[in-house]
Amino acid sequence: MNKIANNSGFTLIEVLVAMVILSVGLLGTAALITGIINSNKLSNRITTATVLAQDKMEEIKGAGYAGAEAGEEPYGGVNFPLYKRITDVALANPSAGMKKITVTVYWDSDSSQVELQTILAE
């Protein structure tokens, strides 16, 4: 009995198709990872800006009604070179004997910001 040689295996076309499918999947994964990294960076900057704004707000609350003053700390002025913190104090807002305090923290050349507000009374 003669056994016919069995040439089973993958053809060149099958290997090329498998490589194309694998490449498309890996490129999609790379794009997803890049998006995740950028989102994490943005989340970190928002968190840092919020903490800087809260820190300034607590400082103003500690100084009390009479000590609440407007001001600006330029980039690097708050030991974080990417951020700029601006404090605005509006007198008699919303009514007499009150001050509306707004602390805004900017980053990325003022294209992004976080803003916190509170009201102090005499």
Report the candidate in 51, 26, 38 with the shortest Cα–Cα distance to residue 116.
51
pLDDT for position 74 = 82
120 strand-pairing partners: 99
Q: How confident is the model at residue 30 (pLDDT cuts 50, 70, 90)?
A: very high
The residue with greater pLDDT, 94 or 40, is 40
Q: Tell me: the pLDDT tens digits for 40-90?
A: 999 999 999 999 999 999 999 999 989 888 999 887 776 788 899 999 999
Report the candidate in 58, 59, 52 with the shortest Cα–Cα distance to residue 77.
52
- Does pLDDT of 1 surpass 60? no
CA 1 to chain centre: 75
pLDDT for position 110 = 80
- Does pLDDT of 91 surpass 70? yes
Q: How confident is the model at residue 94 (pLDDT cuts 50, 70, 90)?
A: confident
Q: How high does pLDDT run on average in the chain?
A: 89
Q: How confident is the model at residue 6 (pLDDT cuts 50, 70, 90)?
A: low
